[in-house]
Structure 1
Amino acid sequence: MRLIIHHWDTDGVTSAALLVRALNLEEFTNLTAPIGEFRFDERIWDAIEKAEKLYVLDFNVPEEVERVKVPTLFIDHHTQPKIKNPLVEQVNPSLDGEYYPSNSLVVSEHFGIWNAWSALGVVGDIGEKAFEIERVNELLWKANLSRAEALRLVELIDSNYIAMEREAVERAVKVLLENDVGDLLEYEPWVKKAEAIREAIESAVSSVEERNGFAFVEFESPFNVISKVARRLVWEMGYRGAVVLNRNFHGKAQVYFRISHEAAERIDMTEVIARIRTLGTNAGGKREVLGCVCERDKIEDVLTIINEYLG
């Protein structure tokens, strides 16, 4: 069995679809982790035991990959250490100090396959800044997709993980493979979810508090909207950074910390992530982003560390 483990967002879903198309896989299984948690759960480990070949895409879990016992291709763009496991081939430009805005670009470059999915992964990870990249615009033009349609497709694909529907995330890979990308703008299951999620995001953004150019938002919601709220605050509303806290997310807490390109020159996010992990939290991220799921009694400890870096 060929097993693909991928992140739950648009970049992870498109990376998986690109891999399947590049390798012409007729039979494969694709799984995502418990949404919001950077780990392999029992369901994934059971599948790995049955796999002949494992692919891990856009999922920053180097500790888990070190433990796998099957031949593995680990393609990522997040900051992470060099994997020592001899069964793992690690493809990650960050190991050479190179910044790639999405994993879809790493997959496309590695296999030499370029299409609208390559571009959508970028749009998913960096929003409208993706349109500053010539290759992204070229790929969208070839697919007859406007910028607005690309943003809408990301919203629709992401609706699956934001609604906390793990199996829907996994089905999304096959939905991409089986449909013309433009037709997915009217894909009803995604459209309905996106409408409900948009209402939740608007409600959260309306309660923003500003401190020294940084936005702080607290709310409670069953939807996984913290990353979307943070992106809105930083990318669209111009804050230097955003700390977004969902105090009651299915019994746990979510903290999301996103900073602007300018703030990233001053704040070492790798260091922040490492410190928050010492609290026993499930945390991960990259140059400008930290995502964390923790028990509710650890919220103040997490926020204390983040506040140290905000001056």
Structure 2
Amino acid sequence: MLIIHHWDTDGITSAALLVKALNLVEFKNMSPPIGEFRFDERIKRAIERSEEIYILDLNLPHEVEGINKSIVFIDHHIQPRIRNPKVKQINPALEGEEAPSASFVVSQYFNFWNTWSALGVIGDIGEKAFEIPKVGELLEREGFTKEEALRLVELMDSNYITTERKSVEKAVKVVLETPVRDLLTYGPWVKKAEAIGEAINGALAGAEVRDGMAFITFKSPFNIISKVARKAVWEIGYEGAVVVNEDFHGKAQIYFRISSKMAKKINMGEIISELKGKGFNAGGKREVLGCICEKDKIEEVLRIINAHLG
């Protein structure tokens, strides 16, 4: 059994939920290269050696079209239907419905719910997760406060933000083997989270704001781009944030997040489609877009985003 999952809290908890729901004793879990929406050679070799494959919280339908293996593809992002008959695609978005996280889709599909289900939602939509009754119910079962849940997501995400792919993959085992409350004091995650907090605040300090939209540019080896955008929109209250990490291990990262209000005016799906049509590695959903590109292509991506911003 091979489980390929996203590198964030939602991906990690989705993988842990799957393992528990299926009562798996032996499995291998892997994450794509941090910040890159693709299967690298390491994952492709693992796929060749596997008979059964689960892909969780990864908006990469094109990667499975040519794979002649039994695959279950569970996601919640906007995406086309997969044509490969070997792939079972489970995604409420295909029917025009919304799911707040892949963890919720996994839990609904297998009817297996616990605190991990809620943490995946909080990891994906932040404070808005607490408006969902099921999230509150699941946290209450474990006696988790809102602040503790947010902190645990911060700690879990520290693995991918510091671009430690092996730590992301190890995190699934840590979650499975550690009482959920004890994760709040898990030393390796706490240390990484402290360094990340300093880097995020440094990036936000350089924000330029025009018409309620924040434009933020910085350089960092940490994969903090989504965290910077979320803090700008969800905590500071900007209508949107266009965030650029000009040098992320030799590549450029561009992240565009908008508020729920702006989502009624801006069609993120159109922007993603346009970027993909021009060959860019991009993905996202209703309120967010992520793209990784060569550093000399930053201006081209920004021109496309700005054209939709007007």
**Distance (Å, rounded) in 2 between the aligned partners of 1:170 and 1:231:** 24
**Distance (Å, rounded) in 1 between the aligned partners of 2:198 and 2:98:** 34
Unaligned runs of 5+ in 1: none
For 1:48, the equivalent position in structure 2 comes to 47
For 2:109, the equivalent position in structure 1 comes to 110
Q: Deviations over 1:161-182 (max 9, x none)?
A: 0000001000000000000000
Kindly provide the amino acid, as one letter, of the partner of residue 228 in structure 1: K
**Secondary structure in 2 aligned to 1:159?**
helix
**Secondary structure in 1 aligned to 2:304?**
helix
**Distance (Å, rounded) in 2 between the aligned partners of 1:214 and 1:60:** 27
**Secondary structure in 2 aligned to 1:256?**
strand
**Distance (Å, rounded) in 1 between the aligned partners of 2:308 and 2:207:** 20
Equivalences for residues 113-132 of structure 1 within 5 A: 113-132=112-131
For 1:93, the equivalent position in structure 2 comes to 92
Kindly provide the amino acid, as one letter, of the partner of residue 188 in structure 2: P
| Aligned-residue offset at 1:281 | 2.1
Kindly provide the amino acid, as one letter, of the partner of residue 129 in structure 1: K
Equivalences for residues 207-226 of structure 1 within 5 A: 207-226=206-225
For 2:57, the equivalent position in structure 1 comes to 58
**Distance (Å, rounded) in 1 between the aligned partners of 2:14 and 2:68:** 23
For 2:142, the equivalent position in structure 1 comes to 143
Kindly provide the amino acid, as one letter, of the partner of residue 137 in structure 1: G
**Secondary structure in 2 aligned to 1:24?**
coil
For 1:31, the equivalent position in structure 2 comes to 30
Equivalences for residues 251-270 of structure 1 within 5 A: 251-270=250-269
For 1:300, the equivalent position in structure 2 comes to 299
**Distance (Å, rounded) in 1 between the aligned partners of 2:51 and 2:143:** 38
Kindly provide the amino acid, as one letter, of the partner of residue 113 in structure 1: F
**Secondary structure in 2 aligned to 1:283?**
strand
**Distance (Å, rounded) in 2 between the aligned partners of 1:267 and 1:68:** 35
**Secondary structure in 2 aligned to 1:127?**
helix
Kindly provide the amino acid, as one letter, of the partner of residue 276 in structure 1: L
Kindly provide the amino acid, as one letter, of the partner of residue 33 in structure 2: P
**Distance (Å, rounded) in 1 between the aligned partners of 2:289 and 2:34:** 15
| Aligned-residue offset at 1:280 | 2.5
Kindly provide the amino acid, as one letter, of the partner of residue 75 in structure 2: D
Matched, 1:173 2:172: yes
**Distance (Å, rounded) in 2 between the aligned partners of 1:160 and 1:38:** 17
**Distance (Å, rounded) in 2 between the aligned partners of 1:103 and 1:194:** 24
Normalised to the residue count of structure 2, the TM-score between the two structures is 0.99
**Secondary structure in 1 aligned to 2:192?**
helix
**Distance (Å, rounded) in 1 between the aligned partners of 2:208 and 2:169:** 36
**Distance (Å, rounded) in 2 between the aligned partners of 1:104 and 1:68:** 24
| Aligned-residue offset at 1:278 | 2.8
**Secondary structure in 1 aligned to 2:283?**
strand
Equivalences for residues 71-82 of structure 1 within 5 A: 71-82=70-81
**Distance (Å, rounded) in 1 between the aligned partners of 2:72 and 2:223:** 29
Kindly provide the amino acid, as one letter, of the partner of residue 76 in structure 2: H
**Distance (Å, rounded) in 2 between the aligned partners of 1:133 and 1:278:** 35
Normalised to the residue count of structure 1, the TM-score between the two structures is 0.99
| Aligned-residue offset at 1:305 | 0.4
For 2:247, the equivalent position in structure 1 comes to 248
RMSD value over aligned CA atoms? 0.7
Q: Deviations over 1:228-250 (max 9, x none)?
A: 00000100111111000001111
Kindly provide the amino acid, as one letter, of the partner of residue 107 in structure 1: V
Q: Deviations over 1:47-103 (max 9, x none)?
A: 000111000000000100212211000000000011110100000000000011111
Kindly provide the amino acid, as one letter, of the partner of residue 173 in structure 1: V
**Distance (Å, rounded) in 1 between the aligned partners of 2:66 and 2:205:** 44
**Distance (Å, rounded) in 2 between the aligned partners of 1:230 and 1:155:** 15
Kindly provide the amino acid, as one letter, of the partner of residue 56 in structure 1: I
**Distance (Å, rounded) in 2 between the aligned partners of 1:200 and 1:262:** 28
**Secondary structure in 2 aligned to 1:126?**
helix
**Secondary structure in 1 aligned to 2:144?**
coil
**Distance (Å, rounded) in 2 between the aligned partners of 1:12 and 1:236:** 23
Percent identity for Structure 1 against Structure 2: 65
**Distance (Å, rounded) in 2 between the aligned partners of 1:134 and 1:67:** 40
**Distance (Å, rounded) in 2 between the aligned partners of 1:67 and 1:151:** 39
Unaligned runs of 5+ in 2: none
| Aligned-residue offset at 1:310 | 1.3
| Aligned-residue offset at 1:274 | 1.3
| Aligned-residue offset at 1:190 | 0.4
